[in-house]
Amino acid sequence: MPSCETQTMLGQARRYFTQMAELFGSDLILTEPDVLSRLNGSGDPQALSAFCESIRTCRKCHLAKSRTRFVFGTGNPRARLMLVGEAPGEEEDLRGEPFVGKAGQLLDKILGAIGFSRDEVFIANILKCRPPKNRDPEQEEIQTCLPHLEKQIALIQPDIIVALGRIAAQTLLGSTDPLTELRSRVHRYAERPLLVTYHPAALLRNPEWKRPTWEDVQKLRKLYDELVGDKPG
pTM of the model: 0.82
Top-confidence residue, 71 or 11: 71
pLDDT at 19: 46
Q: How far apart are CA 73 and CA 225, in angstroms?
A: 25
List domains and CATH numbers for the chain: 42-227 (3.40.470.10)
The tens digit of pLDDT for each residue in 199-229 reads: 999 999 999 999 999 999 999 999 999 999 9
Rg, the chain, Cα only: 17
CB-CB contact of 166 with 209 (8 Å):
no
For residue 161, give the nearest of 72, 215, 80, 71 by alpha carbon: 80
CB-CB contact of 170 with 182 (8 Å):
yes
List alpha helices for 90-165, DSSP H: 90-95, 102-113, 139-156
Ramachandran quadrant class, 99 (left: phi over 0; alpha: psi -120 to 50; beta: rest): left
The tens digit of pLDDT for each residue in 168-211 reads: 999 999 999 999 999 989 999 999 999 999 999 999 999 999 99
b/e string for 171-186 if b means 16 or more Cβ within 10 A? bbbeeeeebeebbeee
pLDDT at 221: 97
The tens digit of pLDDT for each residue in 72-127 reads: 999 999 999 999 999 999 999 999 999 999 999 999 999 999 999 999 999 999 99
Top-confidence residue, 17 or 126: 126
The tens digit of pLDDT for each residue in 20-55 reads: 444 445 444 443 333 333 333 334 578 899 999 999
Q: How far apart are CA 142 and CA 85, in angstroms?
A: 12
pLDDT at 46: 86
Top-confidence residue, 233 or 19: 233
